[in-house]
A and B are shown apart, each in its own frame.
Chain A
Amino acid sequence: MEPILQCSSLTKRYGSKTALDGVSFSLERGRIVGLLGPNGSGKSTLIKLANGLLTPSAGEIRISGLLPGTETHAMVSYLPERTYLSDWMTANDLLKFFDSFYEDFNLDKAAQMLTHLGIQPKDTLKTMSKGTKEKIQLVVVMSREAELYLLDEPIGGVDPAARDYILNTILTNYSENSTVLISTHLISDIERVLDDVIFLNQGQITLHKTVDDIRSEYGKSVDALFREVFAC
Chain B
Amino acid sequence: MQWNLSDDRPIYVQLMETITLAITSGELPAGSRLPSVRDLAAEAGVNPNTMQRALAELERSGLLYSQRTAGRFVTDQAAQITEKRTELAMEQIRVFLSAMQDMGYTAEQALELTRRAIREEK
Contact = CB atoms under 8 A, between A and B. Distances in A.
Interface of A: 30-32, 164, 167-168, 171-172, 176, 188, 192-195, 211-212, 215-216, 219-221, 223-224
Contact of B47 (A195, A216, A221): A195
B10 A215 contact: yes
Contact of B45 (A30, A32, A171, A188): A171
B112 interface: no
B68 to A, nearest CB: 17
B99 to A, nearest CB: 22
Nearest to A219: B8
25 contacts: A32-B49, A168-B45, A171-B41, A171-B42, A171-B47, A172-B38, A172-B42, A192-B5, A192-B11, A192-B46, A193-B45, A193-B46, A195-B47, A211-B11, A212-B10, A212-B11, A212-B12, A212-B13, A212-B50, A212-B53, A215-B8, A219-B8, A220-B8, A221-B7, A221-B8
B60 interface: no
A212 B11 CA distance: 6
Contacts of A164: 45
A194 B8 CA distance: 15
Interface of B: 5, 7-13, 38, 41-42, 45-50, 53
A215 B45 contact: no
**For A32, A171, A192, A219, which residue has the most chain B Cβ atoms within 10 angstroms?**
A192
B7 A223 contact: yes
B45 to A, nearest CB: 6
A193 B47 contact: yes
B44 to A, nearest CB: 8
A169 to B, nearest CB: 10
Contact of A195 (B38, B42, B45, B49): B49
B7 A194 contact: no
Contacts of B7: 188, 220-221, 223-224
A227 B88 CA distance: 35
Contacts of B11: 192, 211-212, 215
A168 to B, nearest CB: 7
Contacts of A195: 47, 49-50
A216 B10 contact: yes
A215 B8 CA distance: 6
A30 B8 CA distance: 25
Contacts of B41: 171
